[in-house]
Amino acid sequence: MFDGLTNRLGQVFDRLKRRGALTEADVTAALREVRVALLEADVALPVVKTFIDGVREKAVGQEVLRSVTPGQMVVKLVHDHLVEILGGDAQLATGVTPPAVFLMVGLQGSGKTTTTAKLARRIARRERKKVLVASLDVYRPAAMEQLHQLAKQAEVSATPIVAGEKPLAIAARALEQARLEGFDVLLLDTAGRLTIDDELMAEVAAVRDLAKPHETLLVADAMTGQDAVTTAKNFNEKVGLTGIVLTRVDGDARGGAALSMRQVTGKPIKILGVGEKLDQIEEFDASRVAGRILGMGDVVGLVERAAEVIDKEEAEKLAAKMQKGGFDLDDMANQLRQVRKMGGLGGIMGMLPGVAKIKDQLAGAKVDENMIKRQEAIIMSMTPRERKDAKLLNASRKRRIAAGSGTTVPDINRLIKQYMEMSRVMKQMGKLGQKGIMRQGLGSLFRR
């Protein structure tokens, strides 16, 4: 139904590839796609705007043109920025002087009761604490019964139900019970409420004043649309939140509400609900949720794919140049720089069309980074004319270059020989196609 960001940025990448360099207009174009993708993921509009501004600021600060693959950077920046914003301290305040009181709030049907039982079970098992739950939902039919049944499944205690008792009175009784019976943690489940229901908002505020909770968690559905901002903002203002629980993450919603709520409240998302069963609860994972919102499960994979595509084109350009015999020492220096930048030979291999398979052959050639740096230095000590035409390099010029680059004349000779080899093999590659290279072996290119 909706295109993921992957598709959208794919189109932008195509454009970038053709142009070869990332201009400010490109950043803007890419961010426009990011904007639409975020909106389709249900991130609230004001939040989208702030987010885009944040990314743009970072993108402008970076020297995008120096990047080998500019498109890569946009994705990375967007993803990293999202992870940064989504992240936060997910620790739950269970370690306070007992009893630690948790207040669960949220809209109708968001998953409060289920999450209360899930948390109770988790804290009781993982932290070996004595946990009590109490339902303050006197409105929804069988709401208290539901929590009691779940508490039993979770093997935690529940405050007994007293017919006709008001929420505030139940809270007081539960607190009393927790203190008297030495519970470490008390979880208060509340009725679902709309933030425009002043009466019910005042009720839960009164419970908060009485119970002085260490955690007030907003339980919200991952499928929530643009309204997430209003709901989160209102609960935060009227009740005061310490964190957010995102439920139904086991669904296929993109979950933009997570970003909306995180941004508008400034409160961390602490827990994910990933199913109806009591053990289906997970710690918040910013990068997982970020990937979902962006509609790309595997950012790293995407980045790698993008890198492959873009480098291949550069390599093709290079190959075309070589075929015409136009490969000069500047091109070689360029290649060497890239080898270094990409962290080794794997990189340059990827830039040559279709030779990824013979990577292993190259690995045997034992080229180290220092050698590459030395060769770069040698080329940099040449004049532009020398770099264009290696035949100019006579004995006196070689001595000058050796002195300038802190190397020896034999080093220079080796480099020239290697350049000639490279030039020849590359020319052949053009003639013979990939098969020719395979036969010849690329190891020879970098032999010392």
Partner 1 sequence: MTGWFQRLKTGLGKTAIRLTQGIAALVTKRKLDQPMLDELEETLIQADLGVATSGKLIERLKRERFDKEVSSEEVREAFAAAAAEILAPVASKLAPDPRRKPHVVLVVGVNGSGKTTTIGKLAHRWKADGLKVMLAAGDTFRAAAVEQLQAWGQRAGVPVVAGAAGADSAGLAFEALERAKREGVDVLAIDTAGRLHNKAHLMEELAKLVRVIRKLDPSAPHDAILVLDATVGQNAHNQVEVFSKALPLTGLVVTKLDGTAKGGVLVALADAFRIPVVAIGVGESADDLRPFEAMAFARSLMGLD
Ligand X SMILES: Nc1nc2c(ncn2[C@@H]2O[C@H](COP(=O)(O)OP(=O)(O)OP(=O)(O)O)[C@@H](O)[C@H]2O)c(=O)[nH]1
Residues forming the site for ligand X (CB under 6 A): 106, 108-114, 137, 140, 143, 191-192, 194, 219, 247-248, 250, 273-276
- Closer residue to ligand X (CB): 4 or 275: 275
Which of 78, 158 has the CB closer to Mg ion? 158
| Span of 57-65, 111-119, 239-247, 415-423 interacting with Mg ion by CB under 5 A | 111-119
Nearest-angstrom CA–CA distance, 232 and 330: 58
Rounded (10°) angle between helices 45-61 and 24-40: 150
- CA angle 227/104/272 to nearest 5° reads 70
Least distance to partner 1, CB of residue 401, Å: 58
Give the nearest distance from C-beta 19 to partner 1 in angstroms: 25
Residue pair 177/187 in contact by the 8 Å Cβ criterion:
no
Quick check: 273 and 248 in contact, CB under 8 A?
Answer: yes
Q: Alpha-carbon distance 257 to 274, whole Å?
A: 16
Residue 196 binds: one of ligand X, Mg ion, partner 1, none (C-beta under 5 to 8 A by kind):
partner 1
190 binds Mg ion (CB under 5 A): no
User: Does 161 contact partner 1 by CB under 8 A?
Assistant: no
Instruction: Check binding of 113 to Mg ion (CB under 5 A).
Output: yes
Q: Are 45 and 39 in contact (CB under 8 A)?
A: yes
188, 103 Cβ separation under 8 angstroms: yes
Q: Which does 40 bind (CB under 5 to 8 A by kind): ligand X, partner 1, Mg ion, none?
A: partner 1
- List binders of partner 1 among 258-287 (CB under 8 A): 276
Residue 274 contact, options partner 1, Mg ion, ligand X, none, Cβ 5-8 Å cut-off depending on partner type: ligand X
- Among 125, 168, 172, 250, which residue interacts with partner 1 (rule: CB under 8 A)? 250
| CA distance readout (Å), 180 to 98, 159, 173, 177, 188 | 11, 13, 10, 5, 17
* CA–CA separation, 9 and 29 (whole Å): 9
Nearer to ligand X, 208 or 414 (CB): 208
Smallest separation (angstroms) from Mg ion to the CB of 143? 5
> How far is the C-alpha of 56 from the C-alpha of 132, rounded, in Å?
48
Cis peptide leading into residue 98 (ω within 30°):
no
Name every residue whose Cβ is closer than 8 Å to that of residue 87 and which is 6 or more positions away in sequence. Answer: 268, 286
The token duo for 319 is 């190959």
- Contact at 8 Å (CB) between 258 and 250? no
Figure out which of the listed residues 196, 324, 395, 439 binds partner 1, where binding follows CB under 8 A: 196
Q: Which is nearer to ligand X, 113 or 236 (CB)?
A: 113
Measured from the CB atom, the residue of 274 and 306 that comes closer to ligand X is 274
Pick the closer one to partner 1 by CB: 3 or 285.
3
**Looking at 46-54, 83-91, 137-145, 383-391, which segment touches Mg ion (CB under 5 A)?**
137-145
Binder among 94, 115, 231, 423 for partner 1 (CB under 8 A): 231
Beta carbon of residue 120, minimum distance to Mg ion (angstroms, whole number): 14
Position 242 contacts partner 1 (CB under 8 A)? no
CB of 113 to Mg ion, least distance (A): 3
Q: Considering only residues 20-39, where is the footprint of partner 1 by CB under 8 A?
A: 36, 39
- Cβ 260 to partner 1 shortest distance, Å: 10
362-365-371 Cα angle (round to 5): 115
State which amino acid sits at residue 232.
A
For partner 1, the closer of residues 63 and 252 by Cβ is 252
Selection from Mg ion, partner 1, ligand X, none that 231 binds (CB < 5 to 8 A by kind) is: partner 1
- The residue among 80 and 250 lying less far from ligand X, judged by its C-beta, is 250
Q: Name the residue number minimizing CB distance to Mg ion.
A: 113
The CA–CA distances, whole Å, from 405 to 63, 95, 368, 400, 412 equal: 28, 62, 18, 9, 10
103 burial level (CB within 10 Å; 0-12, 13-18, 19+)? buried
224 binds partner 1 (CB under 8 A): yes
Q: Are strands 215-221 and 100-105 parallel, antiparallel or unpaired?
A: parallel
Q: Which long-range contacts does 249-254 make (Cβ < 8 Å, 24+ apart)?
A: 249/222, 249/273, 249/274, 249/282, 249/289, 250/274, 250/275, 250/280, 251/222, 251/223, 253/42, 253/222, 253/223, 254/40, 254/41, 254/42, 254/292, 254/293, 254/295
CB of 121 to partner 1, least distance (A): 13
The residues of the shown chain that bind partner 1, judged by CB under 8 A, are 1-2, 36, 39-42, 44-45, 107-111, 139-143, 145-146, 148-150, 153, 194-196, 221, 223-228, 230-231, 234, 248, 250-254, 256-257, 276
Query: Interface residues with Mg ion (CB under 5 A)?
Result: 112-113, 143
